[in-house]
Amino acid sequence: MTTFPIAPELSTRKPVLISVGTRPEIIKMAPVYSELRRRGIPVVWVHTGQHREMAESLYAFFDIEPEHEVVLERRNGSLAHLNALLLEGLSDIFEKVRPGAVLVHGDTTSTLGSAQAAFYLDIPIGHVEAGLRTFNAREPFPEEKNRELTARLARWHFAPTAGAAANLGAEGLSGDGVHMVGNTAVDAAVAGTARLAELLDNGTLALPEPLQRLRPHLGRCRLITVTAHRRENWGPGIRNIARAVARLLAQHDDLAVVWPVHGNPAVSEVVHAELGALAGTLGGRLCLCPPLDYPALLWCLQHSLLAMTDSGGIQEEGAALSCPVLVLRSTTERPELVEAGAGMILGTDEDHIVATVGRMLSGGEALDRMRSAVNPFGDGRTARRIADVLARDLGA
């Protein structure tokens, strides 16, 4: 096992630096940021810019003001180009800040770039949501290898489940570097729903206009939330999902669907080609809208009979909010969802989607069992456990 000793000069004078840039990372690291601040541990937030257009509302919701940002001047869409920009920009920031530790999350290009930059500067790395594996290098791509490579660089491995910790152990990463802490997505969902209710009640937050139009239908319709964006689903996968949604809406006149459509043309053009014309003929039962901010998505999951998604984060958020999740992929790095009975792997075959969801909509106990399953991803105290480890090891 490779370990990176903590330098003796580390102290509370050196901040913990959180380096994230995508929407799910911001959501899942917000509880850690809040907990570190609550304890008086200096913390610096770096926004890596991957989801720049989605970040502002999230930062406002979670009361976070990033001290630094990498401005990504991308000339093409290649992963190599993105990684190079991140590595160079983050290295400059880390050299200026000289933190006592860098925290990264999950499996994005920002995750790997941040870990590389910290490693080159001999700064210890904490990997939150460590140990997830599908054991398929191309599904999800490039996330599976991103998290494997980040694991080789990290000093602290904050695993969300016993299964994730076991994966790390099988790779030779065990001992005092691996900590089974739960998933911060649960912390965020629990705190987020409470804050959402407060803001809606006092009138300081309104749901986006597409959801306002959908609300009147929920008295007589059952709602399904759909999201799909994974690279491996581009093309036939997204098309099959869209066609399955069209058939389900035709077969069940008490069904409503909200689909926040990812902005990537590989997704949006296919979804709108298949469903755009239909949306205007269903009396508001199909809502194709731009990507929703986090509180709006929480509202959708709270009010949904089930969710269909290829997202990793929604698998966790659905479980936290007792919303059954049907995974639109052939594998999941979160098998605990299925093992706990809170979800199932559905894939992207059109006929299989229609048949499976149709059976669930027609009654029976399957949905009730999934809704009452015990959440396998934690108890909402993950951030406290992470902060405990960092405070102990950094002398904070």
Q: Taking residues 34-51, what's their average pLDDT?
A: 92
Is 293 labeled as catalytic in the residue annotation? no
Catalytic residue, candidates 25, 129, 293, 393:
129
State pLDDT tens for residues 129-165.
999 999 999 888 899 999 999 999 999 999 999 999 9
Residue 217 is encoded by which pair of tokens?
């239908």
Residue 10: is its pLDDT beyond 80? no
Instruction: Clarify whether 143 is annotated catalytic.
Output: yes
Q: Which amino acid is at 224?
A: I
Q: Note if 179 is an active site residue.
A: no
Query: Which of the four pLDDT bands, split at 50, 70 and 90, describes residue 4?
Result: very low
| pLDDT score of 365 | 85
229 is catalytic: yes
Residue 237 phi, psi dihedral angles, 5° rounding: -60, -50
Which has the closest alpha carbon to 92: 66, 124, 111, 68? 68
| Amino acid 3: pLDDT | 37
User: Is 231 considered catalytic here?
Assistant: yes
Q: How confident is the model at residue 323 (pLDDT cuts 50, 70, 90)?
A: very high
Confidence (pTM): 0.84
275/287 Cα distance (integer angstroms):
10
At residue 298, the pLDDT reads: 95
Give the residue with greater pLDDT, 311 vs 396: 311
Does 7 have pLDDT greater than 50?
no
- Active-site residue, from 51, 127, 229, 329: 229
* Average pLDDT for 371-387: 95
Of 47, 68, 155, 262, the active-site residue reads: 262
The whole-number average pLDDT for the span 281-309 is 93
Q: Which of 68, 133, 157, 231 is catalytic?
A: 231
The three-state (H, E, C) secondary structure of the chain, written as one string: CCCCCCCCCCCCCCCEEEEECCHHHHHHHHHHHHHHHHCCCCEEEEECCCCHHHHHHHHHHHCCCCCEECCCCCCCCCHHHHHHHHHHHHHHHHHHHCCCEEEEECCCHHHHHHHHHHHHCCCCEEEECCCCCCCCCCCCCCHHHHHHHHHHHCCEEEECCHHHHHHHHHCCCCHHHEEECCCHHHHHHHHHHHHHHHHHHCCCCCCCHHHHHHHHHHHCCEEEEEECCCHHHCCHHHHHHHHHHHHHHHHCCCEEEEEECCCCHHHHHHHHHHHHHHHCCCCCCEEEECCCCHHHHHHHHHHCCEEEECCHHHHHHHHHCCCCEEECCCCCCCHHHHHCCCEEECCCCHHHHHHHHHHHHCCCCHHHHHHCCCCCCCCCCHHHHHHHHHHHHHCC
pLDDT at 336 over 80: yes
What pLDDT, on the 0 to 100 scale, is given for residue 355? 97
Contact 180, 8 (CB under 8 A): no
Structure-token pair, residue 320: 């936290």
Q: Which of 20, 232, 22, 23 is nearest to 137 (CA)?
A: 232
Mean pLDDT of 34-43: 96
In tens, the pLDDT along 79-104 reads: 999 989 999 999 999 999 999 999 99
pLDDT tier, 358 (very low <50, low <70, confident <90, very high otherwise):
very high
Query: Residue 396's pLDDT band (boundaries 50, 70, 90)?
Result: low
Q: What is the pLDDT of residue 282?
A: 87
* pLDDT reading at 203 higher than 80: yes
Surface-to-core class of residue 105, CB atoms within 10 Å of its CB (0-12 exposed, 13-18 middle, 19+ buried): buried
Q: Determine what percent of the chain is predicted with pLDDT higher than 70.
A: 96
Cβ(312)–Cβ(334) under 8 Å?
Answer: yes
Instruction: Compute CA distances 393 → 126, 155, 232, whole Å.
Output: 11, 11, 39
Structure confidence by residue, pLDDT tens digits, 227-282: 999 989 999 999 999 999 999 999 999 999 999 999 899 999 999 999 999 988 88
Asked if 179 and 159 count as a contact pair (C-beta separation under 8 A), the reply is: yes
Residues 191, 134, 296, CA angle at the centre, nearest 5°?
Answer: 30
CA gap 27, 31 in Å, rounded: 8
Token couple for 232: 């491996």
